[in-house]
Every structure is written in structure tokens, then in C-alpha cells.
A and B are shown apart, each in its own frame.
Chain A
């Protein structure tokens, strides 16, 4: 379960801020978060995964206060909007990165993820040689290889065409179910939110509104 308690944060020099954001997302729930451009959705995700420190408030994951924990201690997978694949690293190395950081090796997990995401044939490719849809699948596999409890997705389907987007939505639904993930998915698309969301949220004037 993700629980945000009175999270406040002011963007340095920017005109937006998060004010007393309070939110609970139950386990194994697919939550979608909408809101106007520049309202702080990405910042909220970054606060959740520990890349930004809130000015005040508390973040609780599975009854554990993680507010001051480093990102690596939170077990939260994050797929940013630009996907942020590691330059110059082959797909195989991208996916096994989390295991490498822990000093582990799990070929079975990597193989299973690449099969599930349909990217087995891409393992030796560099990011520059991947299409938008392929990059998105690699970024998802990389995040899932860390075996997170929570997955944060920042507009992951925005760069995809309509057919690829439908396939990707189906994939996200099945991955959430298979890995028993709690997902927070930021999107601008109503159809995406409607198709995937079990919990619908909106960020308005720095506060969360349940829809």
C-alpha cells in the first residue's frame, strides 16, 4: 500500500507546488493520475521514489515510513516519460542492471521478463536502434527486473501510435496482475485512464482529488 500523508513541496523558482497531498493506494491497485501540464505530477512521482525530498509530510510504503530513505531502499520501480534508457548499454545490460547492482545473477528472471515483454530478439541491441514501442518495453523490463512492490509510470504511452498503445495497455494490465504490483500511472489520456485505472485521481492546484 502506498500512503502519502500531507506531502508539501514547492518547486524551486517555478510557479507550482504540492500542498498537503494526502493519498492512499491499496495493494495491487492500478491507479491513474491525471492533471494539467506542469501541475506537479512528475514531481509527485519523483518524491514517491525518493528522487526529491518533500518539504514536509510522510511517505509510507507497506506500513514503513520511507520518507527519508534513499531511492534504492524503497523498492519502487520508476519509468520516466523519456524512458531514460542507459546510453551505450545493450538491452541485456539494461535489464540486468538492478541485479548487477545487488551483486546478483538471475538468468531465469531476465529470460522470463524478456519473453513476457516480447523483447527476446532485442537483447544485443543498443537503445539508439530501438523503436519507441521497443524502448518502452525495455524500460518496463528494466524496472520489473528490480522486483519492485510499486511501479510508477510517467506518461509511458504518450509516444506510441494507436495500435502500439492498445498492445501496450494490454501488456501493462497483464504485468500488473502477474507481478501483483501497485501501479501509479500518470497520463493525459482519458481513454488510457478509463481502460487501465481502478482508482482515478486528479492533481488540481497542488492537491489530489479522487474522481
Chain B
């Protein structure tokens, strides 16, 4: 039998320790409550509402994030222009900003005259649309990063050849680049979706935590914890873990076929 080199062995040990740490965390959470108690919690009307609202708003936010991420990612990957490094850094701002700060920024913006005009058309503050916007602001930054990486890894040459074959820039993007970027688009959507599912700070500040109105699953965990109901908080957390794992498995399973 081939002996594993000590270098690789040490790296494997670090990986195993890290995975074990996570398995212990998840295992402890999973065994905290009984399946019966979990089921009863998840069937409560307010938690069913929060689950449904989470699934809906995450999907809408991830959809909008992808719509924004494709053109921005393509621009950043294919175009050289002055100030590109600055724009690149600016696009990452939502990733590095503390979540609560994003919520405050949104709240303040909608108090300005321009924000008030927008509010007159679609009401965002303390509404479901606000939940989607708060999720979108952060999720879009992750989707943009993923799409930029995808286009960076795809050769621009087929798109250039398409131009010589009579395509416009838009047709070259639509008919050549996007079909080639299918897997990246799916990954960007899933990352944005998963990020939206875990979003809490901006939603709490900007959309509030009103039961049966703007309550999403992370808000439920916080609400249940704030009244000392640890069993319910754990049950909802387990549901979120299950959803996240399901998304991960779905991406891995379909990723090879897309």
C-alpha cells in the first residue's frame, strides 16, 4: 500500500478536524429536540407562514440578483476601462459592510426625497417588498462575483467569432456566452438564494420582524430566542439547515448535467 506523504496527511487531518467540528455542531443541534417536537413547531401557522415567505422572497431576490449579475459580470470580465479597479472594489461593498449597516442605509435612503418618490410607487419599508430588497442587496454582490468568475474562465474568442458571423454584441452574449455560462448562472442563483435565506440584519432593520407579515425564517429564530423558546428556535434552525443542504445537493446533482 502506498504511504501517504506526511505533508498531505497533515492537510487531510486539518480538513477532517474542520469537518468534524461542523458535524459536531450540526449533530448537537439535531439531537437537541425530538422529531415530534420539531414537527409540531414547524406546523405552527406563523412558522409555516415564515417558511413560505422565506422560500418566496429568496427566489425572487435570487432571480433579481441573477438578472443584475449577468450584465455586470460580463462587463467586468470582458471590458477594460479606466476606473475598473475602483468599480470592482465598489461592487464588493455589500459583502464587507456589516449587515445591520446595510439595513440602516436602506432605511435612511427611503427617508430621502428620492426614496419617498419610490415609496409612493412601491412601498418597501416594513413590507414584503422590503424583505426582498434587503435580501437582494447582499445576494446580488455574491451573484456578481460568481458571474464575473464564470465569464473570466470562458474564452472570449467564440463570442468574437460570432461577431464576424453577423452577430451583434447582444446576440453574441445571448447565443454564445450565456449558453456557455449555464452552470455559472445556476451556481450564482443558488449562492444568491442561499445567502438570501440566511439574511437577517438588514431585514430586521429595514423590513421589521412583524409576525405573519414580514417574518422570515431567520427572524423566527430571533423572535423565538428573544422569548426564551429555545426548542422552537432549534426546530426552525434545523429546517433551515435541511433547506440549505437540499439546495447544495440539488446544485451538485444538476451541476454535471447543466
Contacts and interface: CB of A to CB of B under 8 A. Distances in A.
Q: Do A and B actually bind? A: yes
Interface of A: 12, 46, 49-51, 70-72, 74, 76-78, 80, 82, 84-89, 97-98, 100-102, 142-143, 145-146
Given A88-B179, A88-B182, A89-B179, A101 B158 contact: no
A42 B164 CA distance: 15
B164 A49 contact: yes
Interface in B147-203: 154-155, 157-158, 160-168, 171, 175-176, 179-180, 182
B166 A80 contact: no
Contacts of B168: 72
Contacts of A78: 160-161, 164
A87 B164 contact: no
B158 A87 contact: yes
A85 B162 CA distance: 10
Nearest to A142: B165
Contact of A98 (B158, B165, B179, B182): B165
B180 A86 contact: yes
Contact of B161 (A12, A70, A80, A102): A80
A72 B162 CA distance: 9
A84 B160 contact: yes
Contact of B166 (A49, A85, A87, A98): A98
Given A86-B158, A97-B165, A101-B175, 16 more contacts: A51-B163, A71-B163, A71-B164, A72-B165, A72-B167, A77-B164, A82-B155, A82-B157, A87-B158, A88-B182, A97-B167, A101-B162, A101-B165, A101-B171, A143-B164, A143-B165
A51 B162 CA distance: 11
A50 B164 contact: yes
A51 B160 CA distance: 7
A98 B176 CA distance: 12
B1 to A, nearest CB: 36
Most B Cβ at <10 Å: residue of A12, A50, A74, A80: A80
Nearest to B156: A84
Interface of chain A: mostly helix, strand, loop or mixed: loop
Contacts of B176: 86
Given A86-B176, A87-B180, A89-B179, A102 B166 contact: yes
B155 A84 contact: yes
B157 A70 contact: no
Interface residues of B, number: 20
B216 to A, nearest CB: 37
A70 B172 CA distance: 13
B175 A70 contact: no
B164 A101 contact: no
B184 to A, nearest CB: 12
B183 to A, nearest CB: 10
A146 B155 CA distance: 22
B166 A84 contact: no
A165 B158 CA distance: 23
26 contacts: A51-B160, A51-B163, A71-B163, A71-B164, A72-B164, A72-B165, A76-B164, A78-B161, A80-B157, A80-B161, A84-B155, A84-B158, A86-B175, A86-B176, A87-B154, A87-B180, A88-B179, A88-B180, A97-B162, A97-B167, A98-B166, A101-B166, A101-B171, A102-B166, A143-B164, A145-B165
B158 A70 contact: no
Nearest to A82: B157
A179 to B, nearest CB: 16
Contacts of B155: 82, 84
A70 B180 contact: no
A97 B175 CA distance: 9
Contacts of A72: 163-168
A128 to B, nearest CB: 12
Contacts of A74: 164
